[in-house]
A and B are shown apart, each in its own frame.
Chain A
Amino acid sequence: MAETAKYWGVLFMALAAFLVPTSLIFLSHIFSKIRIRPKPDSEKNVSRGAPYESGMTPVGTARVKFNFRFYLFALLFLIFDVEVLFIFPWAARFLHLGFEAYVAMLPFLMLVLIGFLYEWKKEALEWK
């Protein structure tokens, strides 16, 4: 059995997964065109389409230069996720590889941990 053949299944699943929400949205769009009652006056109201801000008219736009402290965390994620990627194939074959693989991986994991501790020490993980 060809391994690639299985991915046809994934492809069709992907199509289906895309079609289900799309069709639902499309369906409701169609429904929204059917008008039983005439257009009420409230639909002409400007504040109807305004974004929610606890009942007040929003001050300024929401597209601001946001103080993105999370940016650091996103960067950290990039770094460590790539490293995790290296671990996956090793882990999958570990039962076959034995002691040498362990010795080979240990420095790598240690490096990751040391790098992590360094970042902790540098207060990259602190909020401030």
Chain B
Amino acid sequence: MQMLLFNMVVLILVTPILLLIYANKEPLIQYTSQDVFNGINFFIGLFILISFLLFVTTMLTYVERRLVARMQNRIGPNRVGPFGVLQGFADLIKLITKEDLIPTLANRNIFSLAPILIMSPVLLMFAVIPILPGFTIADLDIGIFYVVAITSLGSLGVFAAGWASNSKYSLYGAVRGVAQLVSYEVPLVLSICTIVLLSGSLNLIEIAEAQEIPFILVQPVAFLIILFSVAAELNRTPFDINEADSEIVAGFHTEYSGTKFALIYGTEYLAAFGWSLVIAILFFGHLGPGIGGFLMLMAKTSIILFLFFWFRGTWPRVRIDQILAIAWKIMFPLATINIIITAGEILFVQSIFNINPGNALGLQPLAIITIINIILFAGLLVILSFVKGLGQFDKGPKRYVPDIEGVN
């Protein structure tokens, strides 16, 4: 827990710098095309944002190691700096100064390009995310759609990395990665659609402001689907098959070392941070104003991040065919039916509360939808408990009654 707090503290440290520059400035979204070229502030902001992201990435590697270590009854890295906080930076320095090794038979250009292909989309994703209220690189009206579109490019990099390495382990990682990333795209996007339905907008800020009741209560099913889809997109446990270390060593980045590995490794955490931010915005209610809003957002993000770390510290991995079965046989139909039901519910509350078309749903309508959805969610859990063939979940631990007399 102290690590969670520590994570928060570190994030707070950066905030004043951001605020200093943007406290009395108008938000960037008001720049016109000419302003962008004239406004040097934009570039400073961009620089700060990217430094902030890289800083968070490095810290997250440390935070995860500490947290999971504590779950494992260990201490975790505690040598570099106070409590070991500089561990991530030490790793980074070590990795950057390592030799740039490219396998002889690898496709050199693609091999070098792949880490860039993996990292760029994830960095690009932050262009629309309102980390600080009013501060976005581009407050696009299609915000969430942009996020989905940009991040799906990541699978390209994964496949490029795996294929260019010319190693069998990498090949397996790449192929698995593509199948998995591609499969989880569909339920993820469908579930985002339900959120869009409720808020009536694709803009991230507008979605956040539409949440009179946090959408995690309104849409628990969508939340779970998005949570696990994102875990799959991020290659995190229980869906980390494309870098399954006990099976295919390191998956698509088996051959990578040095800076390129650092990029791939860091991107995992950067993407985790980005997606956690998105989930926090989509599901955890309003964005507050000013520094308080920033802290609240970071706290919400930390919860999601902690969930990912927690899963990793507890659960094993799911097999490839099971992963695809979960995506297609459970999540996809659930998400589709969820859309139909949600749309029906919206029509229902619009008619009983006489809401004009185009107006946002108020508190009471959302409350009714919440109640219905929670009941449905409970029912779903019960139904799933009875379904066989999802890997025979009905067979629990049993006590064997040993038969001592009879042999064989």
Contact = CB atoms under 8 A, between A and B. Distances in A.
Interface string A48-69: 1111111000100111101010
A44 to B, nearest CB: 12
A12 B28 CA distance: 13
B28 A9 contact: yes
A38 interface: no
A107 B179 CA distance: 29
B168 to A, nearest CB: 5
Interface in A57-112: 58, 61-64, 66, 68, 70, 73-74, 76-77, 80-81, 84, 87-88, 91-99, 102, 105-106, 109, 112
Interface in B130-189: 136-141, 145-146, 163, 165-171, 175-176, 178-179, 182-183, 185-186, 189
Given A13-B137, A25-B115, A97-B357, A51 B170 contact: yes
A31 B96 CA distance: 8
Contacts of A99: 347
A10 B124 contact: yes
Nearest to B35: A5
Contacts, number: 233
Given A12-B43, A17-B123, A29 B100 contact: yes
Given A5-B31, A12-B42, A12-B43, A73 B196 contact: no
Given A77-B182, A84-B186, A98-B357, A12 B166 contact: no
Nearest to B99: A32
A16 B50 contact: yes
B329 interface: yes
Contacts of B35: 5
B73 interface: no
28 contacts: A1-B29, A2-B32, A3-B141, A6-B139, A8-B33, A10-B138, A12-B36, A17-B124, A25-B112, A27-B96, A28-B259, A49-B101, A49-B105, A51-B170, A51-B255, A62-B167, A73-B179, A84-B186, A84-B189, A88-B189, A91-B194, A92-B202, A93-B200, A94-B200, A106-B340, A109-B340, A116-B332, A116-B333
Interface of A: 1-10, 12-14, 16-18, 20-22, 24-25, 27-29, 31-32, 46, 48-54, 58, 61-64, 66, 68, 70, 73-74, 76-77, 80-81, 84, 87-88, 91-99, 102, 105-106, 109, 112-113, 116, 120, 125, 127
